[in-house]
Each structure stands twice: as structure tokens, then as C-alpha cells.
Amino acid sequence: MTQDTKILKLSSGEEIICNVVHNPEIPYVRVVQPMKLNAYPKATKNGLEEALALQKWIHFSETDTYDVPKSQIIVLTQASYGLSKFYEYCVKKATAQDENVILPPTTQELKEIEDEEMWEEFGEPDTDTIH
């Protein structure tokens, strides 16, 4: 079993770059940290050129490892050195962003926010009241 950075052309038409764990004894290829390749035209002073952007292949997933059936892969090829380095940079940047994601507030935090808003609107309770 080996791991290597590859480009996969899928039967869906998508092209992804990822680290691949290949085991010839199983009917799928395990892809790690896949990113979709998006080529688009870019206007430059020399005319139109093709530019490349990478984006997460599957969003909102709890994992970064997926099993792709070999029957869905049309082409599997080695990524160029330059593309591999760009991919590594994008993976590091995406991982850093994931670590800095602001999580939604907890139930307790929401309750505290509601209490603060209520006290701002109606005033603090009078603790000096004598019964």
C-alpha cells in the first residue's frame, strides 16, 4: 500500500487532486484531502490565459478521507511537481481555516445572551427590595 499525490478524472467529469492510498486488493481507491480542480479563463495583458483554483471536493464533512470506487475513475495520473506544491499550500491553508472556524454558540451561551438582552430592555432586578 502506497500514498502519493495524484490527479483523478472521474466519470462525473470532475477532476480532483488528492493524496491517494492505493491497494490493488480492494475495489476502491482511498483519497485523502481531495480538492476539486477548477480551470477558468483569466484576462491578462497578453490576452486570455487559463488559471487554476482548488476548492474542497466535499464540503461540511467530518472526515477528509473518502473511498472512490475504481469503476468511477477514468484516469489516475501523477500530479506535476508545481501542482503538487500548490495543492500542499491549499491544503495547509484550508486546514488552518478549519481550525479557526467560529463555532455556533452553545445552549448555555444563547441563554446568557437572552438574559443580557432582557436586563438591558427591562433593567437589572432590584436586589434591595425588602419584604
How many residues in total does the chain contain? 131
Residue with cell 500548490: 86
Residue 41 C-beta-side C-alpha neighbours within 13 Å? 4
Whether residue 128 is contained in a domain is answered as: no
Per residue in 77-96, pLDDT (tens digit) is 999 988 988 998 888 888 77
Q: Tell me the three cell numbers of residue 3.
A: 500514498
CATH number of the domain at 45, please.
2.30.30.100
| Structural domain harbouring 8 | 2-122
Residue 1 has pLDDT above 50, yes or no: no
Whether residue 129 is contained in a domain is answered as: no
Residue 101 has pLDDT above 90, yes or no: no
Whether residue 71 is contained in a domain is answered as: yes
| Cα separation values, 102 from 91, 113, 123, Å | 19, 17, 31
Whether residue 127 is contained in a domain is answered as: no
pTM passes above 0.75:
no
Average of pLDDT values for 5-30? Answer: 93
Total domains in the fold of the chain: 1
Please, which pLDDT band fits residue 36 given cuts at 50, 70 and 90?
very high
- Contact, 18 vs 34, CB < 8 A? yes
CA 21/CA 37 separation, integer angstroms = 19
Per residue in 54-81, pLDDT (tens digit) is 999 998 888 999 999 999 999 999 999 8
Whether residue 92 is contained in a domain is answered as: yes
Whether residue 27 is contained in a domain is answered as: yes
